[in-house]
Amino acid sequence: MDNQDIQKEFLTVDSALRPSGWGDYVGQDKIKENLRVILSAAKARNEACDHLLFYGQAGLGKTTLAHLVTNELGCGLKVTSGPALEKMGDLAAVLSNLEERDALFIDEAHRINKNIEEVLYPAMESRKLNLIIGKGPGARTVSLDLPSFTVIAATTRVHLISGPLRSRFGASFKLDYYDNPAIEQIVRRSAGILKMNLDDNAIARIALASRFTPRAANRLLKRVRDYAEVHGVSAVSDDVVKKTFDMLDIDPLGLELLDRRYLELIAKKFNGGPVGINSVAAAMNDNAENIEEVVEPFLIMLGFLHRTSAGRVVTPDGYAHIGLPPPQTRLI
């Protein structure tokens, strides 16, 4: 996916449900308080905002915060991602299109390669784009001035961002999982935008299965809307939500087929663990990074899985959830 595709997707996906102001953004109150101070100070000084780093699990609102920051500053927003910045020319193309005080949003910042980082450092610090022209003894460096701009980076794996890059950000914020009352508030707001009529029990069931994230809550709400429209249901009850989830193989706590398969595999094939992630990935015919980023965080949050120095271990609660008895002894 190139930068134009990323920009288009960023601006269109779930745009109707995305909060447009701080008053609509539920949760992350400490982050909002700090951002208001940083942004107000930047506006008062008539300067570009300091570079910002948002990190946390997928679906917690990092992209939405980038939107709100630029809305507050009244500046333009350019969008790219770590994997899209493969060559120096990719970064140069993005930076050279920035206007004064624009924001550059870089998703999956942990996947920026080291060569690109070396070019990004002076751009972030000194507003300079240093390009190497030619090869060998005749190569020379050309330095181009850049306008004042703000990098807003987002990542789910902050530990993979290098120390030198992380030190260039003026402020870093970790987004936490949401609690059920906050998710219910988000579902109510989104249901109003989608013109859906849900009772309290239906909202509570969606919130409970939302994996503690606004993105999952909105995704489930839209699937419930699809089911209700196809079946001619105008008032969505708890039973309608349950039937939707049954159709999607989503259990009451939000575990999907992949999550349950993961737990059952470790429980049955590896005696509950400990087992290494590469062994699990090979047995599931999946990518280890995908399992670590998509599957495991939610299971750990629920207390169904432990990551130990020896490997992954299914907990007694994890066994209870999949309806299996825990082992009397574990593999060593």
- What is the per-residue pLDDT across 158-192, written as a single tens digit (0 to 9) for each? 999 999 999 999 999 999 999 999 999 999 999 99
Asked if 75 contacts 52 with a C-beta cutoff of 8 angstroms, the reply is no
Q: Kindly state the tokens that stand for 162.
A: 């290098």
Taking 70 as the threshold, does the pLDDT of residue 3 lie above it? Answer: no
State the Cα–Cα distance between residues 120 and 133, nearest whole angstrom: 17
Residue 10's pLDDT is what?
43
State the Cα–Cα distance between residues 162 and 112, nearest whole angstrom: 10
Domain-embedded: residue 331 = no
User: Angle at Cα 319 formed by Cα 317 and Cα 325, nearest 5°?
Assistant: 120
Taking 80 as the threshold, does the pLDDT of residue 130 lie above it? Answer: no
Q: How confident is the model at residue 4 (pLDDT cuts 50, 70, 90)?
A: low
Question: Range of 209's domain?
Answer: 180-248
At which of 123, 156, 174 does a domain end? 174
Residue 17's pLDDT is what?
82
Plot region of 80 (φ>0 → left; ψ -120 to 50 → alpha; else → beta): beta
Taking 70 as the threshold, does the pLDDT of residue 264 lie above it? Answer: yes
Over range 140-169, report the average pLDDT. Answer: 88
- Give the 3-state DSSP-derived string for 273-329, with helices as H, strands as E and coil as C: CCECHHHHHHHHCCCHHHHHHHHHHHHHHHCCEEEECCEEEECHHHHHHCCCCCCCC
Instruction: Give the domain CATH number at 293.
Output: 1.10.10.10
Q: Kindly state the tokens that stand for 175.
A: 């987004």
Average pLDDT over the chain reads 89
Taking 80 as the threshold, does the pLDDT of residue 142 lie above it? Answer: no
Q: How confident is the model at residue 88 (pLDDT cuts 50, 70, 90)?
A: confident
- Does 157 lie in the same domain as 9? yes
In this prediction the pTM is 0.85
Q: How confident is the model at residue 40 (pLDDT cuts 50, 70, 90)?
A: very high
Residue 2's pLDDT is what?
53
Residues with catalytic function: 62-63, 107, 156, 215
Residue 24's pLDDT is what?
86
At which of 248, 281, 296 does a domain end? 248
Overall number of domains in the chain: 3
Query: Which secondary structure element, helix H or strand E, spans residue 195, and what is its range?
Result: none
- Does 240 lie in the same domain as 111? no
Taking 60 as the threshold, does the pLDDT of residue 224 lie above it? Answer: yes
